Every structure is written in C-alpha cells, then in structure tokens.
A = this chain, B = another copy of it.
C-alpha cells in the first residue's frame, strides 16, 4: 500500500488542521499516513478506527518560518529533515509539507537529488481559470534568478506534468512575457524564446491575463515573476470579495438580493479557492514532494495528499527521468 509522509510541524495554524486534512484523506482513499511531528499533539487527534492506518514519526523540532532555508541541512532532529530522510530511504512514497517551503526545497534537492539533466527543480502550481481545467504555472517561487536553460527545463517538466498528471491531451505551453508578439520580453525571456521555439508544445509568448483565460495550459516563468503574479492575483480576488461584501452590506435591498445568490458565491468561492488545488509539486527532484501553503486548511492538505497519490500513480518522476535522458 502507498505510504505518504506528512510533516505536520511548522504550519501557520499548528498541528490540528493538518492532521484533520490527513484524516479526511484517509476516509476517502486507500493509503497509509506517516505523520511526522510531536506525538503528544498528534495521538489525541487520531480516532480509533483510523489508528491502524496512521504511523507517527515523533519529533518536536522544526524549522521556523523566520529561519533561513539553509539551516535545515544542519538540523537532523527537525521534522522536515526526518520526513525527507524516510522519503530518501524509500520508507514512504511521497511527502506533503506545509512547513518552511525554502527548507523543504533545499533539503529535497540536496538529499533526494535532482533528476539527471534537470538544471533546477521548480514549484509547479495550479490556478483556476474560466475553463474546466486549471492553468499550470512554473516556476512559482523556487528560483528567483533564472537562466534561459532553466526556463526550458521548466517548460518540459510542465508539459509532462500537464500531460501525465493533470490529464491534458496535448498541453500547450506559453512563456510569460509583457506582450504576445514574438519580439516582446526582457533579456531572459527573449533568450528563452529562441530556445523554446522549436518545441512543438510551445505556443509563444503569453501575458499575465492568459493565466486565467485558458489560452494555454502551462505558463512558464522565473520564480520571482511567478511569485509576483500569483500573489497579485490572490490580492485582486481578495480585494473584489472584500469590496463586494462591503457594498452588499451597505443596503438592505442588496442584502435581500444576496440571499438568492448564496449558491452562486459559494460556487465561485469554491472555484477560486486555492485550497481546492492542494499544494504544488516540486518538479525535477527524484521523488514526489508536494509543497503546501503554511496557511493550508484541512481541505488543502486533503487535496495535497490526493495530488501526491496521483503523482505517484502516474509515475511522473520516472517519466521525467526518461524525458530528460533523451534531451
């Protein structure tokens, strides 16, 4: 049976919502959870009927958000170090971590190792758009300064992930730029464009708005730009929701109307809700590592576990290894 490690330490809201997400996933899918963290906090949360499917790897130390990513390598007693270690030792098949994402990335790269031929691992995130399938964006933050060759690797990894894990038949890949024309871009994307233009999956430059209109399936960018657009997008959605709420509350007539719209707002929220998409795989390392938001709620962790199971079942790491061997 598949085993998934979940590092429950170091998330923004403590151990409880993370464990709750694990339990929800256990009720739906068949796997064994290896929960890495403080036993005294975890054990009371596990109901008897699920206890046989939960193992606890006890540790109390963890990397705080304000600590540097590199400090993790010197902390063998920390939860993320232990979790990465059992993944490396094949005791589990995948890892989900809502803890310090820099620490998770650097330890995974250092100890699990990159797939041969991959210049840099990338965080591959999914965003809702107006179509039925999400957009895939990478790098969402692992590499702030990139070379053109890194972006080419991100494009290949994004294509393979979209095809093998998300289920796009012929994923279309775009390069995030400041205009759709071939000659648009900064020095980095112009050089990348030249390297990508012979790949049949490459559909050219795309703009920020294309992430949300479904005009391509995979959007490639450096990790700094990826972080900017994703956080700006979340900011807009939050701002619209906040202004809408304020406006509705300002008039009794709107409040009455909003009653009839309850279902609409709920469905919109679900569609736009980041938690429904779980976490983001760190593509390019030799095993399945899913990085979740520090603020993940139970639903986000549940979805991240489904993502991990799906990534293992689709054998994405083997497929990436084969692709990069031919590169």
CB neighbours (8 Å) of A251 from chain B are 263-264
A268/B253 contact (C-beta < 8 A), A233-B208, A236-B212, A261-B248 known? no
CB neighbours (8 Å) of A259 from chain B are 257
Those of A198-227 within 8 Å (CB) of chain B: 207-213, 221-225, 227
Interface residue A1 (Cβ < 8 Å from any Cβ of B):
no
CB distance from A29 to the nearest CB of B (A): 29
CB distance from A191 to the nearest CB of B (A): 11
| Contact, CB under 8 Å: A268 / B240 | yes
**When chains A and B are docked, how far (Å) is the Cα of A227 from the Cα of B205?**
13
A224/B144 contact (C-beta < 8 A), A208-B231, A209-B234, A239-B130 known? no
CB neighbours (8 Å) of A187 from chain B are 144-145
**When chains A and B are docked, how far (Å) is the Cα of A17 from the Cα of B250?**
34
| Contact, CB under 8 Å: A230 / B208 | yes
Interface residue A232 (Cβ < 8 Å from any Cβ of B):
yes
Known pairs A178-B224, A233-B233; list 6 more (Cβ under 8 Å): A213-B235, A236-B237, A237-B240, A243-B272, A248-B264, A260-B260
**Which residues of A are at the interface with B, using a C-beta cutoff of 8 A?**
66, 128-130, 141, 144-145, 176, 178-179, 181, 185-187, 189, 207-213, 221-225, 227-240, 242-244, 247-248, 251, 253-254, 256-261, 263-264, 267-268, 271-272
